[in-house]
Structure 1
Amino acid sequence: MDIKPFLHEHYLLFDKYKDQKACCDHCNQRIVGWAFTCETCKFWLHESCAKQQLPGQIPHPLHSQHLLTLHVARSFYICDRCLSLTQGCIYSCKKCNLNLDLICASLTTPYKTPQEASERSHHRHKTIQYFSHSHRLSLFNYRKVRKDEYSCRWCEKLLSGMPYGCLRYPCSSRESIDNNFEHGSTSSLVDREVTIGKVTGQKGTEIDYFDHEHPLRFYEVIRKNESFLCKACTLEIYDQAYVCKYGCKYYLHKACTKLSHELLHPLHPQHSLKLITSRFQFTCDECRQWFDGFCYRCYACDFKLDVKCATLSVPENESQRLKEMETRSKLCPFNQHHKLNFFIYGSTLRFYPECHFCDQQLQGPSYECIYCEYKLHESCLEFPLEMQLHFHPLHSLRLIPFARKTCLVCKYLIYRKIRYSCLQCDLHVHPYCAKSQKRTVKSKSHMHNLYYFGPNAGSGFYRDKKTCDECKERFSRTPFYFCMECGIMLHIKCTVPHSVKSKYHIHPLTLKDYFKEDDSGEYYCDICEEERDPQHHSYYCAKCEAPFVAHIDCGLNSVEENAEAEEPSTNLASDFDHT
């Protein structure tokens, strides 16, 4: 039996890939779905091809009592020999909970020296309890295992060296934090008596805290509850904390009760920063996160830091940080003299404003023009400044801010600050309604085009308790097809067939209300190869392991002429060719 399983001389990344031009170096077929790659050599292997080249079981000198079995892991593991983060092909003994990556599995000796064996034994299975996470965090040697790198959850720098992370599903190492956090070296600005992550205290101890009217009582453990957020740093509380004695929803990590009332910070050396505990939303001038916890502020310069950034040491390369921030700056598309402010809406805010383009809540990277008074998702900033719609072929519609107008499509007021307009014809359309004009189907039973509106359609469509024109059932915030000329709305199931046979795929395609094949953030139609919204209905192949997904209109427009028909569910659905 081969005891040296081998795929490639370098460690291979393992991830899910889409629209790759590369081909597998084993079978010479195109790479789609889960695959291995070497970024150095541009070497590629399908998951199935990799498994074919490896023995199913091997003996190993590090674990002589049992054979090790090949296992393809899509979650993260720690190799028990080198302590490195591992994903993809591993050899494991489930009885003994031992896992080896391919490199260590191919070695014929347990360790090079007794000193190495002692060091590995000391670090193996070492864990800490982090104050804002429910699971214990494991120590590991970080290396890149997917196409994307991971960042420290606290300092937001790319991981390196020996960090701690949660490897329990579904956290899957997304909660990684830097190893320095355990050493207590994250800040010289917090009172020295506090070492975050190693706090001590007796259950039942009470303190009077200046920001709250009632005494705060110390608790060793708080049951898991997403509503338990620290008032200071807004992170979740799972372990040691102070809670209002009389039941107010006021929680503080023990470390956050020791924050300095005033400090000098290297990012703003000219003045001291004062701790502000009054609730207001602000943008941190270091990380650009939109924040509503405690704030360190210089009133003279209006310089603000959130608690997390204030208690971290200054970045090693401040000029590099400023350069990176500069690359995120953009100009207002409506006035090139206005510079947009970049900020990030985190996941712990009590209130999220809405994007002035798509009307959805602002979360993640966003931009604001303080002069034109609008806020946008970073993704919405890529909107086309002009759009040609088929119902108005004379002129293009330009994107224009300000002024309240009535939307030609949905007939409701455009109360947001951005719209598509033809000023010559006094014609105005919501951005979402304009975008919906791109996804059109035509039924033989209806003389006009039907336009798809997804789950984020404007609330105006649902105000009058409208019913489906086909089945007469009432709508309840579900996607629908809309006729602009007649004003009728139709359920998706009442409009298009449940399955179709496209000439671009060997299997029938099934209608699905939501399809997100991975976490890449980029999703495309496999027929027209244009971008696809994963929250919208689509046709997909339920038989293929590598998903084939298409827009509804693309699926319907590519139906084979001789396809056999299934029994349709509605009258309108029978108007389309389907299987």
Structure 2
Amino acid sequence: MELQHFSHNHPLVFNEERNLESDQKVYCSGCEEEISGPMFSCVTCGFHLDKNCAMAPSEINHHFHRNHSLHLLSSLPYGAGTCVCNFCDKDCKKFVYHCSCDLDLHIGCALFLYDIAERKIGDQLQWIENKDPSISTENHTEKLIKAKCFACWKPLLDSAYLSLDSGFCLHKKCAELPLETNYPRHRQHSLFLQFNSHLVPCKTCKVIQSGGLVYCCSICNFVLHIECVSQPPIIEDTSSHEHPFTRLLLRQSSFTCDACGASGNYVSYICLTCSLIVHKKCTSLPRIIKSIWHHHPVFHKYSVVDNECGALACVICHEINKECGSYYCSDCKFILHVNCALQDPWWYYKIESRDAFEKLNQNGADNVDPSFSVIKEIRHGENVMNTEMKHFSHEHNLILHDEVKDHKCCDGCSQLIETSFYGCLQCDFFLHNSCAELPRKKQIWIQVHQHSFNLIADCVYMCGFCNFVCSGFSYKCKICDDRICVRCAGLSPACTSQGHNHPLLFYLKYSGQYCNACGDSIDNNVTYRCKDCDFNVHYRCILLPQTACHKCDEHILTLTCNEDNDYSEYHYCDICEEERSPNNWFYYCAVCDNKAHPKCVLGDHPYVKRGTNVFIESEHPHSLVFVQKVYPYPECCKCGQPCLDLALECGETRCTYIVHFTCVEQYSYFGRKANQIRF
């Protein structure tokens, strides 16, 4: 049996069974799936089609796309452009069914959906009655945990579902949906089960469902989600609200939702007991959530009275709306608008019960498990001061020093020490008071893994927030192994900054004119901002250390935001000798009158302490030390260029090995203990 297929120049020969000389895998040139059964092959070119692709019709009048026919193409319809299947959302590379209205389906997806609509599902489908999709069954794995029904686009949890060998899943009730239905709000035409290819919002809930199927009248551009067609007149969800919600009317009517504060112009539900009117989606709002924006769980409230919070703004949008439904922490007077809190599913999780809330609330604050034990202390009146401690990060006891005699850097945060500090009498190890007293466990705000992070020491890593390479202490996530530097861990949604009298609020994404610190533009970046004064500071700029050292000056340089000298029309950096703006922040020495760009003072790696020892197993047989060399600059043993910035030098006095940190940084695996960095 031979077939002259439109996609190939040569005739294809039918093979009932695979009869190849080797056991190599054969893939269909149409759907790109491995062929395990009958196929059509070209003996000349090695072109193969499985039986389904070879016999697929060149044109389909599809039940789920009634406006136009779908035509089978052997190449992408947009030339070199990208073509994405409107069903599985994956790239199309070979055969595709295409419509003039830009609907595209893989050949396998198109034929599968056609069989579903024709109820010709046969042996393709396997019913599984299971209340917990996380439990593996025959030929099914944990991937079903996150699977969605391809029809209604809802999760499969707590439902009997249909699992397909092709990977598609379908609720049992959705498999039995009628292809045509009538709806009271749209009596003039029937509604047909369709793709929502034009992304029309549902007439009931106003939500656009990008995937799955909807009931549609293409004449009137009227769309309803599958669940909205059969929505119940009464919703009883005690986990969200103590009273039932009753559907008010199927007709369109304007209202303001008491749950989220947003307007509506479609079907609403009311609570007669509480005199509430809400969107359908808001009838099932979680009553308690744990948000990444706050360390305590927060409760949903339909209103917050003035004497509780005054005029607090939402932490995300920074707007004040007392009439808007919100999530509220009464202990901290903390508010999140409902739509702000729930806009991203990664930002929160639902807390099921008050008992779970109480347990989480007890563990929500920073863990007070100390990072040190007191060896000796003295008392000044009512004040107690630790003078000697044993810190978890160091093998020797640390002694409190009141006087800083020379330039020292903290081994916790790698910044200069200017006030009293803890130091080791036996080695070059120092800690700020604040770094020595950091908690062993801490909740990191705006982190999707909402558990306490563990404080770890003696490592070189890349911070997961600011993306700086750092040495010293970090807070480590036990799930993803992300490290957060102590500077980022110490920030909050509101902070103060030099150069401005008002608190600066955190904006996850902001586009404005420029950063008041560095002068660069702000384009959809993480920013701290004072809206009233239009004062903006990049996230990285808010982290700039207040003091720093540089070889250009023997004194400590101070971060400064105002240029006092107006005698000169032009202002220059005393390190790079390039012009600088007097309106931007700079480092200043009051003794020498030196002024310099922050970038010139700090370099590319301001948070790696010079003098830190590491061992890079495959780089050099001896331990290496982070250094910053001065003139004459030695040549890097890897690239041969002078070591002007951060470098790694051999700790052995007789060995002259030195290498740029940037020459080994790209190969490093940051996050391991510093004496175990590997390549």
- TM normalised by structure 1 equals 0.32
TM score, norm. by length of structure 2? 0.28
Max Rg structure: 2
Greater relative contact order structure (CA < 8 Å, 6+ sep): 1
